[in-house]
A and B are shown apart, each in its own frame.
Chain A
């Protein structure tokens, strides 16, 4: 099943260049409704006040890490079922296990390509 490409996507990264890259890659695979947050607190505020179909977040952020953001999202009654993809350079098994245990929907390791991004979004949205 093809995901609804008009859904709102929130991308979270404290590195603005990476936000720009992900936004452009999403645009290439036809997801045009993209908002950005540069830290976990801003992301939570946007999620609580908006209507997002997908969160794509980095892990390595300050002061709230992507893992902590994921935990906050999963603990929030209204947000707990929002699909959450982690895109990160953290590629140790313990990271993947911790993210899975916290409720991550999928996990993309950097560097990644547009095809991987498209594939993971489709997989996640087919289970949403």
Chain B
């Protein structure tokens, strides 16, 4: 289909797609520059409408150049080189410190259990009940670790996406390909859900009962 400038838009789009496929790393700013140079040679033959269109293409070229300059000024390399590793290191330290604290608590509890075994009656029962509650509470460590692992994975995804955007605008090599899909069995691993989204034990019991 031709527009009122006599341009076959469909053919042009197909042609541009073919060029893009042959040159996947092509720089948008360079393409805009080439278009600008070509159109500049046609000034004398252009109508008022075509000159307006040329102005818009030139404006688009300037916007692309400005966007590149702004991305460069953001120093996004710091995100991959410094911010993301620093954040993941901090999160790893949280896991390590809470794990060490949990192990200390468990060790003390085990000592209390040994003391409880030397007691009789109510004192033994109270000690045992108290240590049971502490053991139950200590499972927070496992949940916390899994939640932090999810956050680290999210940070790495953000890092990869930023690298992809920067690579596209700055004409750098494409970032590494996405990892292959998880093997069967791992595909169902979602980690802990937020309380509002999680199934409770009673929901799970009901679901299991529905199979009987």
Contact = CB atoms under 8 A, between A and B. Distances in A.
8 nearest interchain CB pairs?
A89-B192, A65-B185, A68-B185, A91-B199, A91-B198, A28-B132, A18-B142, A113-B136
B149 to A, nearest CB: 9
Given A24-B135, A114-B136, A96 B143 contact: no
B106 A97 contact: no
A94 B136 CA distance: 26
Contacts of A90: 188-191
B146 A89 contact: yes
Contact of B208 (A20, A91, A100): A100
A13 B92 CA distance: 20
Given A15-B142, A25-B135, 16 more contacts: A17-B103, A17-B138, A20-B106, A21-B139, A28-B131, A60-B146, A90-B190, A91-B198, A92-B190, A95-B188, A96-B199, A111-B136, A111-B140, A111-B143, A112-B139, A112-B201
Interface of B: 99, 102-103, 106, 109-110, 113, 128, 131-132, 135-136, 138-143, 145-146, 184-186, 188-193, 198-201, 204, 207-208, 211
A97 B207 CA distance: 8
A108 B201 contact: yes
A27 interface: yes
A114 B135 CA distance: 9
Given A17-B141, A67-B188, A68-B185, A25 B204 contact: no
A116 B141 CA distance: 19
Interface of A: 15, 17-18, 20-21, 24-25, 27-28, 59-60, 64-65, 67-68, 89-98, 100, 106-114, 116
Given A91-B192, A98-B188, A108-B201, A25 B207 contact: no
A106 B204 CA distance: 9
Contacts of A114: 132, 135-136
Contacts of A113: 136
Contact of B106 (A17, A96, A109): A17
Contacts of A27: 113
A114 to B, nearest CB: 5
A22 B106 CA distance: 11
A67 B185 contact: yes
Contacts of B128: 28
B109 A24 contact: yes
A98 to B, nearest CB: 6
29 contacts: A15-B142, A17-B99, A17-B138, A17-B141, A17-B142, A18-B141, A20-B106, A21-B138, A21-B142, A24-B110, A25-B136, A28-B128, A60-B191, A89-B146, A90-B189, A91-B204, A95-B190, A96-B204, A96-B208, A97-B207, A98-B188, A106-B208, A108-B201, A109-B199, A110-B143, A111-B136, A111-B140, A112-B136, A112-B139
Contacts of A21: 106, 135, 138-139, 142
